[in-house]
A and B are shown apart, each in its own frame.
Chain A
């Protein structure tokens, strides 16, 4: 096992919260997000990290790769269908508050995005990466990130604010 240095472990620890959020947006539910996070950390601990690697970029890239592997394993080509959690199914329609409906609507809309768009949007909107950083993590040109994010936002607006835009 290629051991991580202390500073690499510390850097990785600092990324965990953001990474957990990233995992959730990729998987669409909390249980899968924890599994993905754990698999990501395990892979980094097993394979190590180059001494000159940027920890955040390296980690997100590993996470993305683990997720893509998982998707392939599930034979899902385009996107991961939204999975209802037990809590969600347990709620009856008249006990769901407006904010919960909004959360559900946002989650469903995010889950409906093509995987490549959701990855790009998540990195930039949720994790605050620049287009250049997202491009590096996803290994595509910056212009591709730009157009993926715009297409993702357009689809989200159509789903969440149907009057906008055509």
Chain B
């Protein structure tokens, strides 16, 4: 891949291309395998970086205290990057899939479209076309050999945790239950270790082995879930 294409992908991932260029890259991602694979790896590396450094935002009390004399505001968790990045990837996902699947009127991706191409995330959300937000949390192969993904959906503060599996190119929901959205303090706990016991039980009973690592998942996504 030449430097120019690499720069394009990088800008595309950051949501920094103009509309026309974004469409062109999205179109090429739909038809050029090497570009798609590189983009999947690039996205996975970005996720890894965020995971490594998002754990390091704990501000020592003595430093916060230097500023506290005049204010009672507690430090807040900064999620701006997560939303910005999610928005850019989701916009990309929406465009790519609308071009592939000829649905030009769609304003954003569906759950299935996000599950198809978006790596699992420890935090952050991807906006959906209907105004909800989604976070794919892990991927696994089930005992019947189908690829499945656990995900969280947020709808005005209400959460749903579910598992969808890919059957003949379509993502079908196998289970979905109301769930508490992991808050700022526990956003990085392992998926399934929370309130949605039914989903955790489902995943535990249906998974053929352990969840995919980020790099394994990136490869599967790049191969269009064919491996």
Chain B positions 4 through 17: 1 when the CB is less than 8 Å from some CB of chain A, otherwise 0? 00110011001010
Q: How far is the CB of A6 from chain B (nearest CB, A)?
A: 5
- Residue contact B56 to A24, C-beta cutoff 8 Å: yes
Give every chain A residue within 8 A of B67 (Cβ-Cβ). Answer: 9, 12-13, 16, 41, 45
Give every chain A residue within 8 A of B101 (Cβ-Cβ). Answer: none
Q: How far is the CA of A38 from the CA of B168 in the complex (A)?
A: 55
**Closest residue of B by beta carbon distance from A42:** B66
- Residue contact A157 to B48, C-beta cutoff 8 Å: no
Determine chain A's interface SS by DSSP, over half rule: helix
Determine chain B's interface SS by DSSP, over half rule: helix
Give every chain B residue within 8 A of A13 (Cβ-Cβ). Answer: 64, 67-68, 71, 73-75
- Residue contact B75 to A16, C-beta cutoff 8 Å: yes
**Closest residue of A by beta carbon distance from B69:** A9
Give every chain A residue within 8 A of B45 (Cβ-Cβ). Answer: 106, 153, 156-157, 160-161
**B54 on interface, CB distance cutoff 8 Å:** yes
Interface size for B (C-beta < 8 A) is 53
- Residue contact A157 to B71, C-beta cutoff 8 Å: no
**A68 on interface, CB distance cutoff 8 Å:** no
**Closest residue of A by beta carbon distance from B124:** A128
Chain B positions 163 through 183: 1 when the CB is less than 8 Å from some CB of chain A, otherwise 0? 000000000000000000000
Q: How far is the CA of A128 from the CA of B60 in the complex (A)?
A: 22
Q: How far is the CA of A125 from the CA of B218 in the complex (A)?
A: 18
**B20 on interface, CB distance cutoff 8 Å:** no
- Residue contact B48 to A102, C-beta cutoff 8 Å: yes
- Residue contact B41 to A157, C-beta cutoff 8 Å: yes
Q: Within residues 74 to 119 of chain A, which ones have a CB less than 8 A from any CB in chain B?
A: 98, 102-103, 106-107, 110
**B215 on interface, CB distance cutoff 8 Å:** yes
**B113 on interface, CB distance cutoff 8 Å:** no
Q: How far is the CA of A111 from the CA of B6 in the complex (A)?
A: 21
- Residue contact B16 to A130, C-beta cutoff 8 Å: yes
- Residue contact A14 to B75, C-beta cutoff 8 Å: yes
**A48 on interface, CB distance cutoff 8 Å:** no
Give every chain B residue within 8 A of A38 (Cβ-Cβ). Answer: 60, 62-63, 66
Tell me which of A37, A107, A127, A166 contacts B52 (CB under 8 A): A107
**B193 on interface, CB distance cutoff 8 Å:** no
**A140 on interface, CB distance cutoff 8 Å:** no
Give every chain A residue within 8 A of B218 (Cβ-Cβ). Answer: 161
**Closest residue of B by beta carbon distance from A40:** B63
**A57 on interface, CB distance cutoff 8 Å:** no
**Closest residue of B by beta carbon distance from A34:** B60
- Residue contact A154 to B66, C-beta cutoff 8 Å: no
Q: How far is the CA of A162 from the CA of B73 in the complex (A)?
A: 45
Q: How far is the CA of A149 from the CA of B9 in the complex (A)?
A: 11
Give every chain B residue within 8 A of A20 (Cβ-Cβ). Answer: 56-59
Q: How far is the CA of A121 from the CA of B49 in the complex (A)?
A: 10
A45-B66 contact given A16-B75, A127-B81, A130-B16, CB 8 Å threshold: yes
- Residue contact A150 to B66, C-beta cutoff 8 Å: no
**A21 on interface, CB distance cutoff 8 Å:** yes
Q: How far is the CA of A38 from the CA of B65 in the complex (A)?
A: 11
**A33 on interface, CB distance cutoff 8 Å:** yes
**Closest residue of A by beta carbon distance from B215:** A161
**A9-B70, A128-B84 given; 12 more Cβ-contact pairs under 8 Å:** A4-B70, A10-B71, A12-B67, A14-B75, A17-B59, A34-B63, A102-B48, A125-B49, A128-B81, A130-B16, A153-B10, A154-B6
8 inter-chain pairs at a CB distance below 8 angstroms, sorted by A residue, are A110-B52, A126-B53, A127-B78, A146-B11, A150-B10, A153-B6, A153-B42, A153-B46
